[in-house]
Amino acid sequence: MISAYSENENSVEAIKLFKRMEEEKIELDEVIVTAALSACADLGAVQMGERIYSRSIKRKRRLAMDLTLRNSLLNMYVKSGEIEKARKLFDETMRKDVTTYTCMIFGYALNGEAQESLELFKKMKTIDQSQDTVITPNDVTFIGVLMACSHSGLVEEGKQYFKSMIVDYNLKPREAHFGCMVDLFCRSGHLKDAHEFINQMPIKPNAVIWRTLLGACSLHGNVDLGEEVQKRIFELDRDHVGDYVALSNIYASKGMWDEKWKMRDRVRKRRVPGKSWIELGSIITEFVSGHDDNDEQLMMGEISVVLRCLVSCMTSFDCVLENFNLNY
């Protein structure tokens, strides 16, 4: 049940169920603790994840040596942006496997530290003296490597790694790999290369891949390609409001106001409301954008006072507040 909640984007319920399990004195094992850490990773609840891990290894000392459990803790640090804690845990883990390296490679890539990510990938392929073996990267590892190249604009390096994955490791690229390559071209402004790459893909590109290119067209004001890409997206999904907004922004950047308003008028669905979570001690609170809760409405006055106090304190310490507007 905990895994089911976590995998279906209901990690708050997963944590609640784990706490109930603890209260009922049900014995923990590496599987259940791993599932709980996964939920904490999705929520960015680092303190809670650390407490769960700490309590589990106190109850069962053998769990401290369980590599799967350590990898789950490492994954939580990575997803929460705690890159220093992740590296410390990585270095303290004596016997590493491909998952250990892959998590750390992802961590550096997600935090914009591409060189560290690629250096670790090179180290991974060398002989580990303590294990006397070479750790072979898998297809997930290459997603992290391609992300590192994408986030740093390393186009040629990314193309080489993509080729190496197929030729040197006999790995078949999945949608995620193709998506990383399209993102690599788009972030570097190579829209034509991205378009050609998509058209040459051996599998049918999904809407996400086309949206990556549409976003780049919006950024660079490429009207013709943007219109073509949107047609492809509509063949797959006509209900994503962001697609209409992206094309309307392209029209606006070129002063094509009539086309912009026509596109805006075609938006029929509201955006999916955003969510955020706040961890305070042992409590995780979920906030949903636009949620009209009576208790929250009653507290708006108190919240406003606290915000004004914070702004006053920040200003007194010469903090630069840019584009910060409080609308009451």
- Distance between CA 275 and CA 94 in Å, rounded? 38
Per-residue pLDDT averaged across 77-102, rounded?
93
How does pLDDT run across 62-71, given as a tens digit for each residue? 777 788 999 9
- Distance between CA 311 and CA 328 in Å, rounded? 14
CB 17 within 8 A of CB 36: no
List Cβ neighbours of 60 (8 Å cut-off, separation of 6 or more): 28, 29
79-101 burial, b for 16+ CB within 10 Å, e for fewer? bbebbebbbebbeebeebeebbb
How does pLDDT run across 250-293, given as a tens digit for each residue? 777 767 777 777 766 666 554 556 666 666 666 666 666 655 55
pLDDT at 289: 60
Instruction: Please say if the pLDDT value at position 180 is more than 90.
Output: yes
Percent of the chain predicted with pLDDT > 70: 81
- Distance between CA 212 and CA 210 in Å, rounded? 5
List Cβ neighbours of 85 (8 Å cut-off, separation of 6 or more): 46, 77
Per-residue pLDDT averaged across 195-208, rounded?
94
pLDDT at 171: 95
List Cβ neighbours of 185 (8 Å cut-off, separation of 6 or more): 155, 191, 193, 194, 197
Half-sphere exposure in the Cβ direction for 276 (13 Å, CA)? 3
Return mean pLDDT, the chain: 83
User: In the chain, how many H helices and how many E strands?
Assistant: 18, 2
More confident residue, 227 or 149: 149
Instruction: Please say if the pLDDT value at position 324 is more than 60.
Output: no
Amino acid of residue 260: K
Instruction: Please say if the pLDDT value at position 192 is more than 70.
Output: yes
DSSP element (H, E) containing 218: helix 207-220
CB 40 within 8 A of CB 76: yes
What the block records as the tokens of 10 is: 């209901």
More confident residue, 15 or 315: 15
Q: Which band of pLDDT confidence, cut at 50, 70 and 90, is reported for residue 326?
A: very low
